[in-house]
Amino acid sequence: MIAREDGRLMVGGRLTISTVPALFEEGLQHLASEDLLVDFSKVEAVDSAAVSMLLGWLRAAQRNQRALRVTGIPDDLLSLARLYGVDELLPQQSA
């Protein structure tokens, strides 16, 4: 699930191989037109697809010269990113 809330893009629910493709495309639509603060605090579960989605959004933001800030990244997602050696590529979390 992705929703606009208080100037943020709220991402929630399960970020898994079955849900990420649609969420990825929806996020790209927002990134094409504006800088974003993406809030992951309502995410319930993740798998490696969530890491891929976040890195893909970051690449798209950079390509479109947009700022992508994140907050509320679940520990499970950070753990997977560390496991794959890509944690330093993730955007810095905002408070």
Domain 2-89 maps to which CATH number in 1.20.810.10, 3.40.109.10, 3.30.750.24, 3.40.50.1580? Answer: 3.30.750.24
Tell me the whole-structure pTM to 2 decimals: 0.89
- Other Cβ atoms less than 10 A from the Cβ of 24: the count is 19
Query: Looking at residue 92, what is its pLDDT?
Result: 78
Name residue 65's amino acid: Q
Q: How far is 51 from 89, CA to CA, in rounded Å?
A: 10
Which amino acid, 79?
S
Question: What would the pLDDT profile of 43-86 be if each residue is shown by its tens digit?
Answer: 999 999 999 999 999 999 999 898 999 999 999 999 999 999 99
Given a cut of 80, is residue 89 above it in pLDDT?
yes
Residue where the block lists tokens 């990420």: 20
Is 12's pLDDT higher than 70?
A: yes
The pair of three-digit structure tokens given for residue 74, joined into one six-digit string: 């679940």
Domain ranges of the chain: 2-89
